[in-house]
Amino acid sequence: MKFDAPPPVILFLTKLLKSPKHSLAENTRRLVESFAFDLIHGVTKGDIMTTKHYLLGLGFHNIAGKKNLVQILHRLGHSISYDHILDIETAQAKKAQQTINNSETCILPLVPNSDATSVTTVFWVDNLDKVCH
C-alpha cells in the first residue's frame, strides 16, 4: 500500500523547496516526496511505513547484506528496522514458496496487480528444496 502525504504538506514543501537552485521539476518533486515521507515517519514515530523507508532498507540490505548498515539507517530515521526487513523478506519467501508449490513450474508470476502498481522483488537463495525441470 502506498501512503501519500496530505496535500497541504505537499503544497507547503513544494513552495518551500521551489527555488532557482532547484528549478528542475523532477528534482523538486523528488525532494518534496522524500521530505514528506520523513515527516510522516517522524510524526507517527515509524507506525506508518512509507515507500521511502522500506525500499531504502530493503535495497541496502539486498546490496550489502549487512545488518549494521540497516541499523544505522534506521537509527538515523531513514529506514525501517532490520527486524521489519526480515519480516518482509520472510513473507516474500513464503509467498514465493507457496506460489511455486501451487504451480507446475518454478517461474514466479512477477506481474503487478494493476497498471498503477509495481512489483518489488528481492531474491535471497540459500537452499532450493524444489527441483525445477
Q: Is the pLDDT of residue 22 over 60?
A: no
Q: Which domain holds residue 25?
A: 7-82
pLDDT at 83: 92
For the question of whether the overall pTM of this predicted structure is more than 0.85, the answer is no
Half-sphere exposure of 57 (CA within 13 A, CB side): 28
The whole-angstrom separation of Cα 112 and Cα 9 is 29
What are the grid coordinates assigned to 23, written together?
528549478
45 within some domain: yes
Is 54 a member of any domain?
A: yes
Q: Note whether residue 118 is domain-resident.
A: no
Q: Angle formed by the axes of helices 82-101 and 67-75, to 10°? A: 130
Instruction: Provide the domain count of the chain.
Output: 1
pLDDT tens for residues 78-114?
A: 888 899 888 888 888 788 777 777 766 666 666 666 7
Q: Give a yes or no: residue 17 inside a domain.
A: yes
Residue 101: inside a domain: no
Torsion of CA 74, 78, 82, 88, to 10 degrees: 150
Give the confidence band of 1 by pLDDT, cuts at 50, 70, 90.
very low
89 within a domain of the structure (yes/no):
no
pLDDT higher at 125 or 32: 32
